[in-house]
Amino acid sequence: MSFRSSDNGIGLDLFADAAGNDVLTTALETDARKRFILNASGELEWGGGGSTAPDISLSRSAANYLLLAAGDKLGLDTLQTNTSGTASAPSIIMNDADTGFFLSSANTLGIAAGGVETARLKSSASSGESSMLLITVIGGTTTLQQVGLDAVDTAGTGYRGLRVPNSAAS
């Protein structure tokens, strides 16, 4: 590994002799394994230190795309996107460019599968009520149907049933 002052004189450039080699690592003096590793490929790895190997990694897998290693999880306190998205290009996707969540309209979360809106979750701040609407296509006709909630214990003790009317919601 070698290092030098960055080209503009501010900061530090680190170099390794091969893409997978470590460029920067951290550990306590008593650790047998590194707690943080930055390798020359740009992959970041974290672990608990001590004798535990790194157990989570983050890398750039393509342009504008960060990837967690298989089985790794990301916890977010806040998720914010700067786009409302559409049914065919949701702003939050699930490993599939046309399946996920988007802003269908004000205070309405749209759910898309295969590029088609399949459900909406709505809330009215003024009435304090929430609703779920299913979008169905039967015989080429698209309808929006509000899911109803049955009375207590109608679907067995401790359960309520859900109702979807045969006709479009009003």
Spatial strand order in the sheet of 92-93:
92-93, 100-105, 108-113, 116-124, 129-138, 141-146
Q: How far apart are the first and last CA of the chain?
A: 68
CA distance 100 to 92: 5
Q: What are phi and psi of 80, to 5 degrees?
A: -130, 135
- Is 134 part of a structural domain of the chain? yes
Which residue reads 């001590």 in tokens? 50
Residues 43 and 101 in one domain: no
Count of CB atoms situated within 10 Å of the CB of 99: 17
C-alpha distances in angstroms, 23 versus 32, 42, 66?
18, 9, 19
Walk along the chain (170 residues) and give the pLDDT tens digit of each residue. 555 555 666 667 778 888 888 888 999 999 999 999 999 888 999 998 888 888 999 998 888 888 888 888 888 777 777 789 999 999 988 778 899 999 998 888 999 999 989 999 988 766 667 788 888 877 888 888 888 888 888 889 999 888 887 765 44
Do 96 and 159 lie in one domain? The reply is yes
**Distance in angstroms (rounded) separating the CA atoms of residues 153 and 161:** 8
Tell me if the pTM is above 0.75: no
* Residue where one domain finishes, among candidates 28, 53, 68: 68
Structure tokens at 132: 């779920």
Domain that holds residue 97: 92-163
